[in-house]
Amino acid sequence: MRDTITREIALPDTVTAQLHGSILKIKGPQGEVERNFAHPKVQLTVEHKIIKLQSNQGTRREKTIIGSFESHIKNLVQGVQEPHIYKLKICSGHFPMNVAVVGQELVIKNFLGESVPRRITFIKGAEVKIDGTDIVVSSPDKEAAGQTAARIESLCRITNRDIRVFQDGCHIFHKAGKGVA
């Protein structure tokens, strides 16, 4: 069945959107994000305060792609109004770890007694702060915040010890949009 599929997303008063080719740029009070929405069978248009997604050949595949695009756009609009926040807990039971933010890097020293510090670089647009034993990752772009939090968590992955005993590391305990754990 090939019907025309149309979805509309209304923007709040504080948010504006611009479309340059297939790149959608959304500005709001908390920042600006842009994303490429390129697909040959899905058209994206911006009219006044409405973002319109349309496909003239509405097969199942195009319907799922439009649904994905709609979710991504809603996350972008939500992020420029209030940033997406991920929280990680620093756990160091065996060796005292030193975690610090240096420029655009997170440096973990003395993880399980290692002499070489572990480092990761943040994804562009993500902001990382250390608050006591918590690491707070925030960004208007949900993917940048989530990927940065995932990189921090995988930086402290333990492979050669019993993970039931050695629970040291940085673990995600709050994800954006998931409520309080």
The answer to the question of residue 125 being in a domain is yes
| Residues 42 and 94 reside in one and the same domain | no
In a domain, 31, yes or no: yes
| Confidence class for position 178, pLDDT limits 50, 70, 90 | confident
Q: Rounded CA gap, 81 and 118, in Å? A: 34
148's tokens:
């940065």
Query: Which of 48, 81, 114 finishes a domain?
Result: 81
Tokens of residue 85, six digits:
């926040």
Considering the domain architecture, whether residues 99 and 167 belong to the same structural domain is answered as yes
Same domain, 17 and 30: yes
Same domain for 155 and 104: yes
- Parent domain of 135: 84-174
What percent of the chain is modeled with pLDDT above 90?
53
Q: Is residue 75 a part of any domain in this protein?
A: yes
Q: Is residue 11 part of a domain?
A: yes
Residues 155 and 103 in one domain: yes
Q: Into how many domains does the chain fold? A: 2
Residue 86, pLDDT score = 94
**CA–CA separation, 130 vs 146, rounded Å?**
16
User: What pLDDT, in 10s, does the model give residues 31-76?
Assistant: 899 999 999 889 999 998 899 999 988 788 989 999 999 999 999 9
Closest of 17, 12, 57, 60 to residue 37, by C-alpha: 17
